[in-house]
Amino acid sequence: MEGQGALYLVATPIGNLRDVSLRALDVLARAAAIACEDTRVTAKLLARHGIAKPLIAYHDHNAEHIRPRLLARLGRGEEIALVSDAGSPLVSDPGFKLVREALARGIAVTAVPGPSAVIVALQLSGLPADRFFFAGFLPVKTAARKKVLHELTPVPGTLIFFETAPRLARALADMADVLGPRPAAVARELTKMFEEVRRDALPALARHYAEAGPPKGEIVVVVARADLTPRASNMDVDCALKDALARLSPSAAAAETALLTGRPRRELYARALRLKSK
């Protein structure tokens, strides 16, 4: 795109620094400057491939200050590459506003495709990939998180979330509470040496990470749509309730069984009281 400025959205490796396309390397080598989330991370990638370019930190904390400078350089005819720490730009990073303003000013924007943790996790989850909804990071607080999960309950496709290690167990428990025992997968350290994908129902995954503690690495959670959730029979429900009642109060037994079966707590509490009275 000679003679005019251009913004290139360059996908970078999720794990192995060698997993970058030849086109991406060509764009990075030609760019006047490279905007990135963390200059240390991008510097390692460039050094691995013998590329020396000015790096500009562009992240959530400085985006309002740096974005006008990048737009000014683009307006002067420079080519700028925007990269994320790993994966595709604009997926949970501040690139959206930069792209929107560049397009509004008539600046050419193009994407150099490559790895995406969202797509890799979906591929490895074993869940349907014909329709999916990427919801990014859920809210930090439980009440807000559950509110968003309730809004996502009717989505007719596989749900995909980013999550942090310290919040993973609690987020999975809230997913199980709101979405029921849907099949799900927790993928971490994608394409790296310690890549792991754990597949199970949401309640089982919540229990595992509550007991095992926060895992290391970046995490993607993939959850099946509602119609893939196996619905327990009445006999199964009563068996689960009887087992829980041997250890817990009717209220606590109903809550535990709701996580396991996806049935409403109110219905299970009434059944627990009937079973208790027999």
The predicted structure's pLDDT at residue 17: 66
Task: Give mean pLDDT, residues 175-192.
Answer: 89
Task: Give mean pLDDT, residues 225-254.
Answer: 80
Task: Give mean pLDDT, residues 140-161.
Answer: 95
- What is the tens place of the pLDDT at every residue in 209-226? 999 999 988 899 999 998
pLDDT over 70 (residue 229): no
- Burial group, residue 54, by CB count within 10 angstroms (0-12, 13-18, 19+): exposed
Q: What is the mean pLDDT of the chain?
A: 89
pLDDT over 50 (residue 123): yes
Cα dist from 149 to 35, 142, 152, whole Å? 33, 10, 5
Provide the residue ranges of all domains of the chain, joining segments of one domain with +. 6-115, 118-228, 234-277
Longest pairwise C-alpha distance within the chain: 84
The predicted structure's pLDDT at residue 230: 61
How far, in Å, CA of 221 to CA of 197, rounded?
10
Does the fold of domain 118-228 match that of domain 6-115? no
pLDDT over 80 (residue 258): no
- Quickly state the pLDDT bin for 3 (edges 50, 70, 90): low
Going through 67-218 in order, the beta strands assigned E by DSSP cover 79-83, 108-112, 132-137, 158-163, 183-188, 196-201
**CATH architecture of structural domain 6-115:** 3-Layer(aba) Sandwich (3.40)
The predicted structure's pLDDT at residue 1: 41
The model's pTM: 0.73
Pick the CATH number of 118-228 from 3.40.50.300, 3.90.10.10, 2.60.40.10, 3.30.950.10: 3.30.950.10
pLDDT over 90 (residue 143): yes
The predicted structure's pLDDT at residue 189: 84
pLDDT over 90 (residue 93): no
- Quickly state the pLDDT bin for 19 (edges 50, 70, 90): confident
- Quickly state the pLDDT bin for 83 (edges 50, 70, 90): very high
